[in-house]
A and B are shown apart, each in its own frame.
Chain A
Amino acid sequence: MRILLVDDEEEFVATLAERLSLRGIDADWVISASDAEKIINTRHYDLAVLDVKMPQVGGRELKKIIEKKQPGIKTIYLTGHGSEEDYQAGIAEAEYYLMKPININDLIQKINDALGK
């Protein structure tokens, strides 16, 4: 199982990736949509955890880009905001829509649920 973490908060995403790795989950992280596009061309991912609000290209737009390149990839949205529109759109598009700060065990549970494990 390999997952990709995309969030413009480097401190957050790097730490989260490390914690997932400690739990045996192979997680790569990038801090922008452009970096995500690059890395997606080089590796296959089962699931992407995307921050909804990012500069230039947000998580919802990035999801479409990633799905074009890797159809069937599962997505979990992550946000610190949570406007009504984002929430409604998010739960319609992604597997889960999670609010920061998150509990690592909850996240792992959702990842497993999304991947049907």
Chain B
Amino acid sequence: MKKLLKLFSPNFLWGDKQDIGPRFRHMFNYSRLWRSAVMLTALSAILPLLIITWFDFNVTQKAVESETLSRTSRTVSNTKRTISAFLEERKSALDFIVRDNPYEKLIDPVRLAVILENLRKSFGGISDIGVIDAGGQQIAYIGPYPLEGKNYSHQDWFKEVVERGIYISDVFLGFRNEPHLVIAISFDLPNGSFYILRTSIDTDRLNDQLLNLELGPQGNAFIVNAKGILQTPGRYNEKVFDKITIPVPEYSPQTEAFQYNDPNEGSYILGFAYIPDTPFILMIVKNKDEMMKSWHKTRIEILVFLSIGIIIVMVGVIGFATFFVNNIYIADQRRIKTLHQVEYSNKLASIGRLAAGVAHEINNPLAIINEKAGLIKDIFQFRDTYAKDEKLIGLVDSIHNSVARCGAITKQLLSFARHMDFSFQPVDLEKIIREVIGFLGKEAEYRNIKISINVEPDIPQFESDRGKLQQIFLNLVNNAFAALSDGGNLNISAIRIRNERIRITVEDTGCGISEKDLKKIFEPFFSTRTNVGGTGLGLSITYSLIQEIGGTIDVNSTVGFGTRFIITLPLNAKNIKEKR
């Protein structure tokens, strides 16, 4: 788990970075690379998800809306058939009465009373029945009111029934002060005249039909006339003869359902149907929000699905972007490290070549001085004239000594340059240490740094890489010099230990290294002296070089007291004949 977390943690943000210089720095902006990778990948993954969700959202919403309208339309259609059947039944009953009873019988009050009684038993809700002649005179009437003999010839309904053969009235209160409606049908007489059979029907059963409809919460069903006057009560305190607030829909021969947006009441699903041959319009109103509740639930599910999808995609995208940018970062860091190491090696090689060139140029005139001085001395010694002049001999010796010093320096330079390539050869450890110290002798002298070298005599020459050893000691001594204050001590000692190995200790009395830094000092480019030109490569390269020649290096340090590097090297001593 820890390994997995490490794999996906953004090391490119908090890891050490190799500096490639200002010119190319912009190319290694890993945060920007990571952001771009996350954004592009997330966009290409989430955009299709959003489009699909949006599409599904709309399709589902439309399907639910369509289903709601369709369901409302079906309810309206079924109710319309029920109401039509209710009225048709009564019309058929009147038709049957006329066919079963000739006109003469119908105008017989006894017979008419029997008919009314039968109708009441069969259908219920019928309050009276009357027969009206062609002149509009009610010639027979059975019912609770004294309407026999009343003339209707001037009333609109009479004219309509004469004209159309049937009349169904709006709901009205009448003498009873109860809402009811009237059905009047005209029938022809054999003599060419006609009469009208008229009956009053209570609307209670019609109301019951509408009240019993399953319309869901806040649903309403009622009948209105063309003026929008309620013919049946609504479910929410709407009374008969109230005017509805919804506009009366335009006539349509078919059942219709549509969405109605009321600015005050919100959105409704409105279904309606004009009931044929009546003044009635059946209206069913449903609250859209209630009807769409199932959709709201589905909508939340879609949004939850979308959110979970986006979270999964983002976790995946961020994880993989981090993983890939980390890999790029690691590859880049390795590349830059290699470049720096190559640069460092090239620098050393250049210094070596330069040193060799300088040494060569100096060596030839030195050789001439050496020989000329030698000849002078020879002349003094071989000829008696000056043989006893100690002052002259001393002067010549002084020239010789200076030439020898210069020669030693140029030899060190050449030796250092010569052995930079990898090659195993017999090496004299003390000689190498002294050569390296030779380079820094003057600095030590000026800074009053006391250097002691103590290589035990039982350490023989051994097979190793001379150039690498030089570089190792040069790096360690340079480091010690950087840590030492003027007047400090540097001790280098070497002893032979078990298993054919030697242990070399390079110890200074400098400023020391903190415990925190001590863990990192062998990491490439770790330096506490970057502001004074430290590359952070010295100890890293030293570590690598020691490993390459089969050794190990360890360090311990105390801040304020000094640092000790302990190197162990394999010993493969060989006695050789010095050819030089």
Q: Do A and B come from one complex?
A: yes
A103–B374 alpha-carbon span in the complex (Å):
9
Q: When chains A and B are docked, how far (Å) is the Cα of A70 from the Cα of B24? A: 64
Among A41-49, A60-68, A83-91, the stretch that binds chain B is: A83-91
- The CA-CA distance from A99 to B370 in the complex, in Å, is 13
Q: Which residue of B lies closest to A13 (CB)?
A: B371
Among B356, B382, B414, find the residue whose CB has the most chain A CB atoms closer than 10 A: B414
Residue in B366, B375, B418 whose beta carbon sits within 8 Å of that of A19 in the complex: B375
Contact between chains at B579 and A91 (CB < 8 Å) = yes
**Are B579's CB and A97's CB within 8 A?**
yes
Q: In the complex, A36→B579 CA distance in Å? A: 26
Chain A contacts for B301, CB-based, 8 A: none
Q: Mark B38-67, 1 if CB is under 8 A from A, else 0.
A: 000000000000000000000000000000
Q: Assess A82 versus B378: contact at CB under 8 Å? Given A11-B368, A87-B418.
A: no
* Among B360, B374, B415, contact of A81 (Cβ-Cβ < 8 Å): B360
> Which residue of B363, B419, B579, B580 contacts A100 across the interface (Cβ within 8 Å)?
B363
Q: Which residues of B contact A91 (CB under 8 A)?
A: 579-580
With known contacts A22-B382, A99-B363, A100-B367, A82–B414 Cβ distance under 8 A = yes
Report the contact-size class of chain B (Cβ under 8 Å from the partner).
20 to 34
Smallest CB gap from A92: residue in B: B579
A16 CA / B374 CA spacing, docked (Å): 9
CB distance A15 to B364 under 8 Å? no
Pick the contact of B356: A23, A82, A100, A104 (CB < 8 A): A82
Query: Is A55 among interface residues, defined by CB-CB distance under 8 A?
Result: no
With A19-B375, A98-B580 known as contacts, the answer to whether A83 contacts B418 (CB < 8 A) is yes
What chain B residues lie within 8 Å of A99 (beta carbons)? 363, 407, 410-411, 414, 580
Q: Chain B's nearest CB lies how many Å from the CB of A72?
A: 20
Shortest C-beta distance, A3 to chain B (Å), equals 15
Indicate whether B403 reaches chain A with its CB closer than 8 angstroms.
Answer: yes
Q: Residue A83 contacts which of B356, B372, B378, B403 (CB distance < 8 angstroms)?
A: B356
Contact residues in B for A98 (Cβ distance below 8 Å): 580
Which residues on the A side are within 8 Å of B411 (C-beta)?
99
A102 within 8 A of B: yes
Judge whether A101 and B378 touch: CB under 8 Å: no
Contact A9 B378 (CB under 8 A): no
> What residues of B have a CB within 8 angstroms of the CB of A23 in the complex?
378
With the chains together, A111 CA to B531 CA distance in Å? Answer: 55
CB distance from B26 to the nearest CB of A (A): 42
B369 part of interface (Cβ distance < 8 Å): yes
Which residues of B350-407 have CB atoms within 8 Å of chain A's CB atoms?
A: 356, 359-361, 363-364, 366-372, 374-375, 378, 382, 403-404, 406-407
Chain A: CB-nearest residue to B382:
A22
Alpha-carbon distance A91/B577, docked complex (angstroms): 12
Say yes or no: A15-B375 contact (C-beta < 8 A), given A81-B414, A84-B418. yes
Q: Are A100 and B418 in contact (CB under 8 A)?
A: no
Chain A: CB-nearest residue to B579: A91
Closest to B403 in A: A101
CB distance from A91 to the nearest CB of B (A): 5
B421 at the interface (CB under 8 A from A): yes
Residues of A within 8 A of B414 (CB): 81-82, 99
- Is there contact, CB below 8 Å, between A80 and B360? yes
Q: Which of A15, A53, A83, A87 contacts B371 (CB 8 A)?
A: A15
User: Which residues 18-46 of A have a CB within 8 angstroms of B?
Assistant: 18-19, 22-23
The reply to whether A18 and B368 contact each other, CB–CB distance below 8 Å, is no
B418 and A101 within 8 A (CB): no
B367 engages A9 (CB within 8 Å):
yes
- Shortest beta-carbon contacts, A-B, top 5: A80-B363, A101-B370, A100-B367, A15-B371, A81-B360
Can you list 19 A-B contacts with CB-CB less than 8 angstroms, sorted by A residue number?
Answer: A9-B364, A15-B368, A15-B372, A22-B382, A53-B360, A80-B360, A80-B364, A81-B356, A82-B415, A87-B418, A91-B580, A96-B579, A99-B410, A99-B411, A100-B363, A100-B366, A100-B370, A101-B403, A102-B370
